[in-house]
């Protein structure tokens, strides 16, 4: 059914417009996406759980309201289906964080973002794959098998949010939610040719986002266009009294900024090139696409300035202290008492509560999670607290100060999102440190709580997507949406259409 | 295993005790510290839970304003420095009753620091106990041990966990090391705990009932040889939950440690437990590196900012403090210093005050609580509050006496009935048919019968010799099963013999 | 510079309440030492005059009104528990008291 295949290629904004014009129903969109999911999943494995029945019921409920004219106050994306990273809690729908320790957990409550999506009449297609507890950069650390990159199914989609990124790249969903602690939305965005946004820390409620590292975690949009992300951010953003780290302020005008950006006039916009993120360390194809994109920004009137952020070179080290410290505490609750897995000790070992916990956690957590827990416990222990955790928190202060100074000279900062394009399965699994380097450019934004996003900048020499990252000052997410939308428009003009024109999608042909 | 003990008087002659108390006070807020689950003592297990208090993935803590207000109140009452910025920290350890496997407490930035509490001692002197800090934290759930004897942890086969209490707000008040107490250390600790209890009740921030676990204390103590300055190794006795227990823990530990040190032995730095049954402390785990709680600022909770305006607002709501309150009551009730001290030492002040509020006279209220009720309490080793009699009951008995419906003997029997759990005074009176027989025919007949039964006495009375009156009254009492009013009998007899 | 001995890794496994296998402990020891080497450089710039940052957004705590809301039903609360008895969560034998 070609028409259905054309439907799924629409942007979320286009879908929404067709819904408003009664050209298509929410149910038709949901069915089209479910068909693609069915066809694509054997190759992609983006979903851990498809909530087809719930999605259809939500779509029908929305269509009924829409027919009755009761949807006018809803957000622009009302009725558009969405996929949810399985790090976000959904009432009545299994939520696992891709960990054996939570397998089968049916939450009794909804995350704030889910409540907002439901209120907006946006059907939930299902829960997407990730590295276990969002810990990883390739989605290979999922306890339920890796997700494949639609651009080359022998390669990873990045991580941790490889499921959401692949689902959106492969047309299994128009948009998705991710969580970003060190780049888990943006780096998979870069590797799958999609848009991924990490809003300002505190801009989107974390209530119901399973905690990895609380001071770094942020829920954000995944989409195929800048505008779609902006529209989605406006649905999920805003102050929430159930999250003490939520900022009491209005949602920044990001959709308006994106629409402004599509006019491709960047006069007066100062774009900062961060010295620490130019030069060595990038695949040549990535550097080339990055430089071309910067040139395009200049062509649209942006002023390019060089920025020195000397402490960014310490960001990765500080991150790998702060993040595991918080992980070690946040993941303590998985102890076999209240929910999830329980494994009793083997024969010969005393059958005590403490041993039950130890054997449950041994069996329930994967290698990467254990590695980070152990590292975090070490960083927080009495003898090393000052040298490690304490020092890392100071580095964080220095990074924030560097960014504050940088944003006096520039409105946005730009870097390549990831040093490499999508790599082969297994390539970095035995070398944690190399895997950690994947996030070198995305981590600083989490450390400083500033908004950042990745958009596709073209294909590298290897034919794989390259990501271009924008960063903006805290609470001014709109400042990055404008140049990002402008760059997207300029690039698509060059390419004669969206980047996914070059993507082969055999599963669309197989879809019913 | 019984441990060697030194005689108390010898121990305090040779050593100076230095003690400290860490008291947990459970706050009587409507909801838990970090989530809007209702908190009520005695609710069905696991019915007062939200995703937050159950530690569900994705749940986040949000601070209860009333808990902060209560902390400020206590800080003011304890003359603490109230810190403009305080911070919640995670204390990490695994335990089945901890829903998140970390406690949210305060570490290096507590809400209240540096204060003191003046306590009145039995001899009328005042001792100042220095306070190190009073910080906010949340409680854990409760384990019921199954399969062993008496629900004790030893020998239990498994445990059942009720998380209702998990997340209930606590304030932990930590004293500085209390020095210079000498032999009075146990008395000072006891007076400190009682004063603290009175304060939290006066502030209305806690029910302050130790027997319900609203207050419990960890008791630290070390000894040092007289004349030395270096502190000795201390023991820590956890979760002592009665005033008597705290006093006795200190007495016991002073005797135990003195005996150890006297023999050239060493006190282990360990956690001990007060055993009410044996009246001893028992050794537990030796403290080691394994107890590394890995405190760090809770990243889910930003800094707590307490402004001067907030403090001023709370200051306006501060009630009269117990010491002033007592002075005022003593004046009102016209009690001597000694009478007042007796009431306080019997832990009966609130009860007497309540009884007077309910209509009893000061002397009447005092008589009952310090008399018969105290006797029964001592007999059973219970506190006055644990007995099944309320101030309203006592006031009711007093009212019946004042109205002439009960005489002293019947009143005492009524109180005994209430204490035996037979119900309210009214119910006890009805059940036993207690009633003063006064001016009705029955009494008159009993008097006539008594006079007729002993004509000799009747003659003496008629001739104006009132000495044998007691014998007649006794006979009437016997005849009326004690329900006659002695005064009324006497008046009736006089009327008869004169008439 | 902190290094991970075999003993340290085992102790950390104990604190983490994870029954690490011998093979895991050996592997972790090697990996953690490589990681430690790399991240140890945070100390180079963490001088005494720098204040630590625990949370990137300068917020002060929102104080929630003390008003009860509907709790979870007991069935909801217990639904995912590995073992329950009489409306309570079952823990295997608990040895010794922690707090």
Q: How confident is the model at residue C99 (pLDDT cuts 50, 70, 90)?
A: very low
Question: A109 and B289 in contact by Cβ < 8 A?
Answer: no
- Considering only CA atoms, which of C19, C41, C24 is closest in space to residue C6? C24
Beta bridge partners of B169: B138
Q: What is the DSSP secondary-structure string of A103-142? A: TT---SS--HHHHHHHHTT--EEEEE--SGGG--SSSTT-
Chains in touch with A (3+ beta-carbon pairs under 8 Å) read: B, C
Residue A353 within a domain: no
Nearest to C54 among B44, B93, B299 (CB): B299
Q: How many Cα neighbours within 13 Å face the side chain of B212?
A: 15
Q: What is the pLDDT of residue C98?
A: 43
- Contact A310/B at CB under 8 A: no
Q: Which stretch of DSSP H or E encloses residue A179?
A: strand A175-179
Q: Are A259 and A234 in contact (CB under 8 A)?
A: no
CB-count burial class (<10 Å; 0-12, 13-18, 19+) for A60: middle
B130 CB within 8 Å of a chain A CB: no
User: With an 8 Å Cβ cutoff, is A246 touching chain B?
Assistant: no
Provide the pLDDT for residue A109: 97
Residue B28 to residues A407, B171, B204, B216, Cα–Cα distance (Å): 48, 11, 8, 15
The complex's ipTM works out to 0.96
The Cα–Cα gap between A444 and B340 comes to: 68
Nearest by Cα to A479 from A421, A426, A403, A417: A403
For residue A415, is it left (φ>0), alpha (ψ between -120 and 50) or beta?
Answer: beta
Residue A150 near residue A131, CB atoms below 8 Å: no
CA distance B397 to B437: 17
pLDDT per residue as tens, chain A (512 positions): 447 789 999 999 999 999 999 999 999 999 999 999 999 999 999 999 999 999 999 999 999 999 999 999 999 999 999 999 999 999 999 999 999 999 999 999 999 999 999 999 999 999 999 999 999 999 999 999 999 999 999 999 999 999 999 999 999 999 999 999 999 999 999 999 999 999 999 999 999 999 999 999 999 999 999 999 999 999 999 999 999 999 999 999 999 999 999 999 999 999 999 998 877 789 999 999 999 999 999 999 999 999 999 999 999 999 999 999 999 999 999 999 999 999 999 999 999 999 999 999 999 999 999 999 999 999 998 888 988 999 999 999 999 999 999 999 999 999 999 999 999 999 988 888 888 888 999 999 999 999 999 999 999 999 999 999 999 999 999 999 999 999 999 999 999 999 999 999 999 987 76
Q: Please report, for residues B127, B168, B349, B465, the alpha-carbon distance to residue B77 in angstroms, rounded to integers and kept in the order given.
A: 16, 22, 19, 65
Amino acid B289: pLDDT: 47
Closest CB to B99 among A108, A338, A381? A338
CA-to-CA dists, residue A436 to A182, A317, B246, B301, C20, angstroms: 10, 10, 54, 28, 23
Cβ neighbours of A333 in B, within 8 Å: 55, 57, 99-101
Q: Which tens digit of pLDDT belongs to each residue from A403-424? A: 999 999 999 999 999 999 999 9
Contacts of B62 in chain A (CB under 8 A): 241-244
C16 contact residues in B (CB cutoff 8 A): none
What is residue B437's predicted lDDT score, i.e. its pLDDT? 67
Query: What are the helix and strand counts (H, E) for chain A?
Result: 18, 11
Residue A511 in any domain: the answer is: no
Cβ <8 Å between A353 and C92: yes
CATH number of domain containing A93: 3.90.1300.10
**CATH of the domain spanning B441-498, picked from 3.10.290, 3.30.950, 1.10.10, 3.30.1490:** 1.10.10
Q: Which long-range contacts (CB under 8 A, 24 or more apart) does C83-87 make?
A: C83/A342, C85/B146, C85/B160, C86/B45, C86/B160, C87/B44, C87/B45, C87/B46
Burial of C3 (0-12, 13-18, 19+ CB in 10 A): exposed
Measured distance CA(B248)–CA(A144) in Å, rounded: 58
How many domains are contained in chain A? 1
Distance in angstroms (rounded) separating the CA atoms of residues A286 and A466:
6
A391 part of contact set with chain B, CB < 8 Å: no
Which residues have CB under 8 Å from A160's CB, separation 6+? A87, A130, A131, A134, A135, A136, A137, A139, A141, A179, A181, A184, A188
Q: Collect contacts of B178-181 with beta carbons under 8 A, ≥24 apart.
A: B178/B18, B178/B19, B178/B20, B178/B21, B178/B129, B178/B130, B179/B16, B179/B18, B180/B16, B181/B17, B181/B19, B181/B127
Residue A156 lies in a domain: yes
Residues 6+ away with beta carbon under 8 Å from B359 = B395, B398, B399
> Which chains does chain C touch, 3 or more C-beta pairs < 8 A?
A, B
A244 contacts A210 by C-beta, under 8 angstroms? no
Residue A434 lies in a domain: yes
Which helix (DSSP H) or strand (DSSP E) does residue B14 occupy?
helix B8-14
- Please report residues of C whose CB lies closer than 8 A to that of A364: none
Which residue in C has a C-alpha nearest to residue A203's C-alpha? C57
Q: State the nearest Cα–Cα gap between A382 and chain B, in angstroms.
A: 6
Burial class (CB in 10 A: 0-12, 13-18, 19+), A17: middle
Determine which helix (DSSP H) or strand (DSSP E) holds B284, and give its type and residue range. strand B280-286
C19 contacts chain B (CB < 8 A): no
Domain enclosing residue A143, as ranges: 2-311+398-502
Catalytic residue among A26, A51, A99, A160: A160
Contact status of A326 with chain B (Cβ, < 8 Å)? yes
Cα C37 from Cα C31, distance rounded (Å)? 10
CB contact under 8 A, C54 and A215: yes
Integer CA distances (angstroms), B481 to B245, B475, B491, in order? 44, 10, 19
Domain ranges of chain B: 8-314, 321-403, 441-498
The answer to whether residue B468 neighbours chain C at the CB level (below 8 Å) is no
Shortest distance between the Cα of A390 and any Cα of chain C, in A, equals: 7
**pLDDT at A500 (0 to 100):** 96
When pLDDT is cut at 50, 70 and 90, the band that residue C1 belongs to is: low
Q: How far is A274 from chain B (nearest CA, A)?
A: 29
A214: tokens are: 């609380």
**Has residue A358 been placed in a domain?**
no
Task: Supply the pTM of this predicted model.
Answer: 0.89
Cβ <8 Å between A352 and C16: no
Q: Which is catalytic among the residues A166, A184, A205, A328?
A: A184
Residue A198 designated active-site: no
Mean pLDDT of all residues in C31-43: 89
For residues A214 and A199, what is the distance between their CA atoms, to the nearest angstrom? 15
Q: Give chain B positions within 8 Å (CB) of A213.
A: 299
- The radius of gyration of chain B from alpha carbons, rounded to an integer in Å, stands at 29
Is residue B136 classed exposed, middle or buried when 0-12, 13-18 and 19+ CB atoms within 10 A define those classes?
buried
Tokens of B197: 């209890």
- Do C80 and A370 make contact, defined as CB atoms within 8 angstroms? no
Angstrom distances, CA of residue B325 to CA of B329, B332, B342? 6, 11, 16
From A109, A391, A400, residue closest to C46, measured CB to CB: A391
* Low pLDDT (below 70) residues in chain B: 1-2, 149-152, 154, 285-291, 437-440, 499
Rounded CA-CA distance B92/B60 in Å is 17
């Amino acid at each position: 059914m070609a028409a259905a295949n054309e439907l799924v290629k629409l942007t979320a904004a286009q879908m929404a417009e067709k819904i408003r014009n009664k050209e298509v129903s929410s149910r038709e969109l949901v069915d089209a996406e479910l068909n693609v999911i069915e066809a694509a999943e054997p190759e992609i494995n983006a979903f851990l759980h498809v909530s087809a029945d719930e999605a259809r019921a939500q779509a029908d409920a929305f269509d009924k309201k829409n027919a009755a004219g009761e949807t006018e106050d809803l957000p622009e994306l009302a009725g558009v289906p969405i996929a949810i990273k399985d790090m976000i809690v959904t009432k009545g729908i299994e939520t696992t964080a891709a960990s054996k320790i939570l397998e089968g957990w049916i939450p009794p409550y909804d995350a704030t973002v889910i409540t907002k999506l439901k209120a907006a009449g946006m059907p939930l297609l299902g829960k997407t794959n990730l590295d276990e507890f969002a810990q990883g950069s390739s989605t290979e650390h999922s306890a339920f098998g890796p997700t494949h990159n639609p651009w080359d199914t022998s390669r990873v989609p990045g991580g941790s949010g490889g499921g959401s990124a692949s689902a959106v790249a492969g047309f299994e969903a128009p948009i998705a939610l991710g969580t970003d602690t060190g780049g888990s939305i943006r780096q998979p965005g870069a590797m799958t040719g999609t848009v991924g946004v990490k809003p300002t820390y505190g801009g989107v409620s974390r209530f119901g986002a399973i905690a990895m590292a609380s001071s770094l975690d942020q829920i954000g949009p995944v989409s195929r266009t800048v505008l779609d992300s902006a529209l989605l951010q406006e649905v999920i953003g805003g102050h929430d009294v159930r999250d003490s780290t939520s900022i009491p302020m209005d949602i920044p005008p990001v959709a308006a900024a994106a629409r402004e950006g599509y006019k491709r006039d960047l006069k007066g916009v100062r774009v900062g090139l961060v010295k620490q993120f130019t030069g060595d360390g990038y695949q040549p194809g990535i550097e080339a696409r990055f430089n071309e994109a910067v040139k395009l920004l200049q062509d649209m009137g942006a002023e390019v300035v060089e920025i020195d952020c000397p402490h960014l070179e310490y960001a990765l080290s500080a991150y790998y202290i702060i993040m595991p410290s918080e992980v070690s505490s946040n993941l303590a609750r998985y102890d076999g008492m209240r929910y999830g897995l329980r494994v009793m000790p083997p024969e010969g070992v005393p059958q005590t509560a403490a041993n039950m916990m130890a054997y449950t956690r041994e069996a329930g957590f994967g290698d990467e999670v254990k590695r980070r827990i152990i590292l975090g416990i070490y960083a927080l222990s009495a003898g090393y607290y000052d040298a490690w955790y304490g020092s890392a928190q100071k580095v964080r202060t220095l990074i924030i100060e560097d960014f504050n100074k940088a944003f006096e000279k520039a409105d946005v900062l730009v870097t390549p999102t990831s040093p490499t394009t999508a790599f082969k399965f297994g390539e970095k699994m035995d070398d944690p440190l190399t895997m950690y380097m994947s996030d070198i450019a995305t981590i600083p934004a989490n450390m400083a709580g500033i908004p950042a996003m990745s958009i596709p900048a073209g294909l590298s020499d290897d034919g794989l997507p390259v990501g271009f990252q924008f960063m903006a000052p805290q609470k001014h997410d709109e400042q990055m949406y404008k140049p990002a939308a402008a760059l997207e428009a300029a690039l698509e003009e060059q390419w004669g259409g969206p980047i996914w024109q070059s993507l082969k999608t055999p599963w669309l042909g197989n879809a019913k | 295993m019984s441990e060697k003990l030194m005689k108390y008087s010898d121990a305090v002659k040779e050593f100076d005790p230095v003690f400290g108390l860490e008291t947990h006070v459970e706050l009587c807020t409507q909801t838990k510290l970090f989530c809007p689950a209702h908190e009520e003592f005695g609710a069905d297990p696991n019915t007062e839970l939200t995703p937050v208090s159950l530690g569900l993935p994705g749940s986040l803590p949000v601070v209860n304003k009333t808990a902060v207000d209560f902390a400020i109140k206590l800080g003011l009452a304890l003359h603490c420095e109230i810190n403009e910025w305080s911070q919640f920290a995670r204390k990490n350890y695994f335990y089945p009753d901890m829903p998140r496997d970390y406690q949210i407490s305060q570490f290096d930035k507590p809400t209240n620091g540096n204060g003191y509490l003046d306590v009145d001692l039995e001899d009328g002197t005042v001792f100042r106990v220095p306070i190190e800090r009073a910080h906010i934290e949340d409680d854990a759930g409760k384990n019921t041990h199954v399969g062993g004897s008496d629900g004790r942890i030893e020998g239990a086969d498994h445990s059942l966990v009720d998380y209702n209490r998990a997340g209930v707000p606590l304030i932990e008040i930590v004293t500085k090391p209390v020095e210079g107490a000498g032999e009075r250390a146990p008395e000072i600790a006891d007076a400190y705990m009682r004063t603290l209890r009175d304060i939290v009740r006066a502030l209305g921030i806690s029910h302050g009932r130790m027997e319900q676990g609203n207050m419990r204390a960890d008791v630290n103590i070390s000894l040092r040889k007289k004349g030395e300055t270096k502190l000795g190794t201390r023991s820590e006795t956890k979760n002592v939950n009665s005033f008597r227990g705290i006093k006795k823990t200190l007495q016991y530990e002073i005797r135990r440690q003195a005996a150890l040190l006297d023999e050239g032995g060493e006190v282990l730095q360990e956690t001990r437990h007060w055993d009410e049954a044996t009246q001893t402390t028992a050794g537990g785990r030796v403290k080691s590196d394994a107890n590394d709680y890995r405190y760090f600022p809770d990243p889910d909770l930003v800094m707590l900012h307490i402004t001067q305006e907030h403090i001023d607002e709370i200051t306006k709501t501060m009630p009269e403090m117990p010491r002033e309150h007592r002075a005022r009551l003593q004046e009102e009730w016209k009690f001597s210093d000694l009478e007042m001290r007796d009431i306080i030492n019997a832990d009966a002040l609130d009860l007497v005050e309540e009884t007077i509020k309910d209509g009893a006279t000061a002397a009447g209220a005092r008589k009952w609580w310090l008399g018969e009720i105290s006797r029964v309490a001592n007999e059973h080793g219970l506190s006055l509050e644990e007995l099944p009699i309320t101030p309203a009951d006592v006031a009711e008995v007093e009212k019946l006496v004042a109205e002439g419906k009960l005489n002293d003997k019947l009143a005492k029997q009524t109180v005994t009935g209430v204490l035996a759990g037979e119900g309210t005074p009214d119910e006890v009176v009805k059940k036993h048919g207690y009633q003063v027989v006064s001016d009705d025919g029955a009494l008159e007949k009993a008097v006539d019968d008594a006079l007729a039964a002993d004509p000799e006495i009747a003659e003496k009375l008629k001739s104006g010799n009132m000495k044998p009156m007691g014998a007649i009254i006794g006979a009437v009492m016997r005849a009326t099963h004690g329900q006659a009013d002695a005064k009324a009998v006497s008046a009736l007899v006089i009327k008869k013999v004169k008439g | 510079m902190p290094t991970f001995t075999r003993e340290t890794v085992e102790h950390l496994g104990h604190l983490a309440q994870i029954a690490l296998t011998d093979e895991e402990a050996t592997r972790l020891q090697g990996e953690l030492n490589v990681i430690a080497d790399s991240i140890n450089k945070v100390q180079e710039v963490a001088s005494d005059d720098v204040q630590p940052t625990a949370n990137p957004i300068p917020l002060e705590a929102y104080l929630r009104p003390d008003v009860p809301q509907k709790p979870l039903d007991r069935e909801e609360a217990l639904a995912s528990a590995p073992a329950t008895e009489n409306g309570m969560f079952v823990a295997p034998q608990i040895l010794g008291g922690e707090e």
